[in-house]
Amino acid sequence: MSLSHPLFRPSPIKGVLFDFHSTLIDQGSSELWLEIACASVELDPLDYMEHMDIVAKLNSIVEFARIEDPHHSRDLSGAAHEEIFTRLLGDFTEEPLTSALYSSLTQAWFPYEDTLPVLDALREQGITTAIISNIAIDLNEIMARMGLANCVDHVFTSAQLGYVKPNPEIFLAVSEAIGIGPEGLLMVGDNAIDDGGAGAAGIRTLILPRTTGPIHGLATVLGVVAGSRALDS
């Protein structure tokens, strides 16, 4: 069958939706998170580093939250987010460290090395970009600290939209807000369940498994976008 056949002519990608955590940014090391939290309340992190079970539990805090809160109330309300994470942190720490850890929850996060180059390349090609994140924390300050504030066209959170991934409604709400139909979008994320919900909304979806190195493989996005345009021409 020739590539000129209509079956090989999908709509070109006009917009790319990105998950945030573990897609554009790495959560960093729990050791650094602990150091930042201790410094903020004048505690010696060495007193806690000896108890490596604390570091291991900090590594798993997001997974603990998924188990504790399977319906994602933490991603729809800032108050619920603070209550759940503070309670989970309090299971293995004491004040003032517990509150300091919550306050510095995002301070060790950093963008992957391929995040900015890929976002810049998409902008140069006239591709609309948006973040769609299950989170009840304001991402604007975080993105400004990371130098990402002016690199993405739109930022949407579950708390803002009132839906959480994988509910197709959150993807359809973003599609309507940015003025690009589902057939013209690509969703990029790390979670096959949450981010894969875009497929139910008619959005092509690319899952990049979590990585531990500085490069996340985001250049794949450019290949998918280029391929959609080549097949359409």
For residue 1, being part of any structural domain is answered with: no
pLDDT of residue 50: 74
Question: Do 135 and 156 meet the contact criterion of CB atoms below 8 Å apart?
Answer: no
- Mean pLDDT rounded to a whole number for the chain: 93
Indicate if 96 and 113 belong to the same structural domain.
no
Q: What is the mean pLDDT of residues 210-233?
A: 87
For 109-130, how does the pLDDT look when each residue is reduced to its tens digit (9 = 90+)? Answer: 999 999 999 999 999 999 999 9
Expressed as residue numbers, the domain containing 178 is 6-26+109-232
Indicate if 149 and 201 belong to the same structural domain.
yes
In sequence order, the 6+-apart residues with CB closer than 8 A to the CB of 85 are 61, 65, 74, 102, 105
- 3-class DSSP state of 204: strand
For residue 96, being part of any structural domain is answered with: yes
Indicate if 91 and 125 belong to the same structural domain.
no
Indicate if 216 and 169 belong to the same structural domain.
yes
pLDDT band at 6 (very low <50, low <70, confident <90, very high): low
For residue 174, being part of any structural domain is answered with: yes
Indicate if 188 and 137 belong to the same structural domain.
yes
Indicate if 47 and 60 belong to the same structural domain.
yes
Whole-number Å distance between alpha carbons of 186 and 10: 12
22: left (phi over 0), alpha (psi -120 to 50) or beta: left
Indicate if 21 and 83 belong to the same structural domain.
no
Indicate if 118 and 223 belong to the same structural domain.
yes
Task: Out of 103, 127, 150, pick the residue that ends a domain.
Answer: 103
How big is the chain, counted in residues? 233
Task: Out of 103, 125, 155, pick the residue that ends a domain.
Answer: 103
Model confidence, pTM: 0.92
Indicate if 10 and 43 belong to the same structural domain.
no
Domain count, the chain: 2
Indicate if 122 and 215 belong to the same structural domain.
yes
Q: What is the mean pLDDT of residues 199-219?
A: 92
Whole-number Å distance between alpha carbons of 105 and 27: 9
For 88-103, how does the pLDDT look when each residue is reduced to its tens digit (9 = 90+)? Answer: 999 999 999 999 999 9
For residue 45, being part of any structural domain is answered with: yes
Indicate if 83 and 121 belong to the same structural domain.
no
Task: Out of 86, 103, 120, pick the residue that ends a domain.
Answer: 103
CATH of the domain at 220: 3.40.50.1000
Indicate if 212 and 142 belong to the same structural domain.
yes
For residue 66, being part of any structural domain is answered with: yes
